[in-house]
Chain A
């Protein structure tokens, strides 16, 4: 080895790279000596939380991952489920939280690029993207946007929102993959740790799926795509796994590591990858993501139980004078690695040339079980693959339920109290940042390219994508983290149920689930408790719904000086419906249709959106919930939608029944007359804190609980009277009104609500003010 390579880094270097002293000693033991610079850089990345799942792997093993539709479970770049007609749907959600906090546009853009690569890495053509975003409170609408530094409440949240949405649109729109859905919430705990999660779906003929395991000693390793620069050096360990450092110095020090996305390069990379697979030219395929070449090459070797020799001098570089370790850890975007039989090498390189994605043979598969790195023929790193990939210590969590609330009460929104007129509360809810129309976001996304989109945003609860056999896929992404913060297990169950309810409303049955566990520092007992409880709830709900987990991602250490984020297990669910023409809609469709409230619905105010506007503290725990009953109601609604019996179906979520009704009116452009009579008050018992009023004359808390309380299990349906009567045989169902009129009227037995469609639309359009 060269003199430079032999100049050994110290244990302090290892600590600076994020390893613990004990981990460094274990590295020395595995190596039989102290690691050199290249080796230490590689160990530090592969043994980071991001790559090794040190604090979550044991928990993840408890999740259900098998089911009749599962074709590929966790462990590959993406999971996949059978969707019929010889096709599989690959999907996965991934986070790009910390890069987005540093530079929202590029952070979000490269997040989309990364998740798309995971999809085509297994041989599927990406067909859709969804985004899941969390920011701090945006403050009053209409302030100055465009700058992070300008002061004022909510400025940072708006700057991040603006940048992240533009970045997601930039990448997805330019590469020609529609962004068909998503979610965004604004809550104070995200002020210093925004979340940017992106989910992607792809389609592939079943036999075209490819794994990432390297095989066949003697086969060539080909790197293709963009050239390698110093982008994101140290990104995986410094940016992705440490608590964000907020002082200016810290931000300045991280500047050079910003990665810039190039969707055009990725488009060519995607077409090239898919054509390589179609022509049967490659043995295995792997994207380069966090930890770049290090992670990709080692993962491929590990999965194939082989060794790899590679020479960094063969890697096409964008910048001069890059050190071997820099090349090994660079996170330059838009690159892929594949294993090729020697006979096919020329054909592979020719295809790379056709797509103008410079391909280079950088090494070969060996039978040594070792990862050997050369620089122009000289050995600069030599490590056992198993030590790199499998021997990172896993840590047990020390969960402990916190004795005192972790999160402070939200600031009350001026204007409404629990005793305000219900009409005023409804308009306040509709215009609140978490409930108002997402149109200003989704209009920045191309949701229709590829000619598959049967239901666009705000037309239905789930996005619906037509399949060639006449059926369709439905997909939803969701997580109400305030409920998870109140009760990590039940809150997570609620998030899974919400996804499944969204699918039911379009007539789809769940096939599989992906998840992104966004949490704080797991070394703290209360965070460990949140994580443990959430994963328990996740497993329970996915088992009950037969929607196994096929993949996911974990993002930990999302906290700063002001505390942890809300525990945010983002759930993505994919389902199928047999007839695309019968995909459900959420908007009321015909005047004269009857409106029903269906499902086991026991609304509560605490942890809901109104509670937040009122400045209530989070409750300690959520009410118990009958998973089986909710699942049965979802099945009944799904069946009715599939039969074409209903004109509309919408699940009741944030803001409760009244907001759901308003949304149905707005989406359909039709009014509704609703009466909550004695039957309603007898059948739907809102769970309210403190004494409740008598039926017939509900007091303010009971009234608000019924109108605005939240819980899983409720649906607002519309359709002909006979259809609803038939449905009442299989699910609790209450006729509550009729579609028609110029606005929404709700008679309650106490103060009524009356608002014109224009008034509702005005309130619902509030989010536009957040964009400059």
Chain B
């Protein structure tokens, strides 16, 4: 339904740039919905993605939250995974070799329980070949220590950013939470502290109750809401932040189709990430990229960057 007839012959450029890194197209996976890449390889050609973004890494292996971790909501998904991951060392040994040989730039997402853990993660990963940028997750609603706490107080967000910047020469993308009164305050604070790009939004805090048991539907009680349900909130956040800061923005939140991508770019995103859509349809990333190719062709757009922030007010 969403696919536009391609105009024969016309081929607009889909290339964009984020923090000095060139992406062949603006579409990448959202952290935590892509495993470590291999799981999707049977379904799509990972080399066609704009970038590769892997599940949040912590310094030590993290077991994650007790199940149930998933609860479906109307056009949305509540999750409380709790950053389950093998830890940075095992990642470097077991996962990185595979990821390194993929063509798209690799962005590694990190989260610490303390500012010094963020710094340590940054320094540990900076030395590794094949990593093109770090995405700093200060917005996970599902862990007790760290996570979202750093993302809601502008000063703390700035401190995390500065600490990471100090340890790495890699571009630093800071991932913001929408669960704040004014997201532009946090955005400005992290940009002032050196963030090279911003990623937004992470999930909205949410909850569901199972009527049969009268217990929370999630083992962790609360979770993060993602998927089409949150798209309007995400688009608003991107639009607000794009007008408040000068660094490029990776927009995300409920993107399911190429049309959604275009809305995010018009609102001010330079690139986008696709999360929940991949969980529903493992081919979503590629179908979205193809949809984007069709769209720029049909509209006679020479350079997709024309769309960035081009909403008419």
* A and B interact physically: no
Report A's interface with B, CB cutoff 8 A: none
Report B's interface with A, CB cutoff 8 A: none
